[in-house]
Amino acid sequence: MKSLSGLSRHIINRPRLAYPLERLITGESRVVTIWAAAGSGKSTLLRQWAHDAASRNVDVLVVDGQALFNGSAALADQIHRANSGDEASRQSICIVQDAHRITTDTSRHSPLSIMHGLPANVGLVLSGRYQPP
């Protein structure tokens, strides 16, 4: 699991890129994918947006695709928390970085299975260098 640390003080506002992410908070979208080359700014965009979303009382969990490949239960835990108690109506966002490391034939946490298991109040961001098979 990754944290939101390392956020630069110099934030570049990118409304065109942040718009699809904002639709996760409003519930207009359930899943957003971001595929781009290494060093293109995916992690910076997501870190800045996640920091802003958290400041608006949205639960944000950042998970590494390699951790899911290795069987991390972090995503399952987040989904369980989002569906229990006082958190059930609160919007939650799960960001899976390096999602290109997830492979559908070797991981029970394939992008498709992750998307199908989402409750209504949990949005998903898949981000990586290329779309996994």
On whether residue 46 sits in a domain, the answer given is yes
Residues 5-34 pLDDT 10s:
554 556 677 778 889 999 999 889 989 999
- Residue 79 tokens read as 């989904």
On whether residue 133 sits in a domain, the answer given is no
Phi, psi of 93 (to 5 degrees): -130, 130
- Section 54-72 average pLDDT: 77
Q: What sign for the dihedral angle of Cα 40, 43, 48, 50?
A: positive
Determine how many CB atoms are found less than 10 A away from the CB of residue 39: 9
Integer Cα distance of 56 and 71 in angstroms: 30
pLDDT grade for 1, boundaries at 50, 70 and 90: very low
Integer Cα distance of 48 and 15 in angstroms: 12
8 A C-beta contact, residue 96 and residue 65: yes
On whether residue 2 sits in a domain, the answer given is no
**How high is the mean pLDDT of the chain?**
76
On whether residue 65 sits in a domain, the answer given is yes
On whether residue 10 sits in a domain, the answer given is no
On whether residue 78 sits in a domain, the answer given is yes
On whether residue 5 sits in a domain, the answer given is no
Per the structure, the count of domains in the chain is 1
On whether residue 12 sits in a domain, the answer given is no
Q: In which domain, by residue range, is 35 found?
A: 17-128
The CATH code of the domain that includes 65 is 3.40.50.300
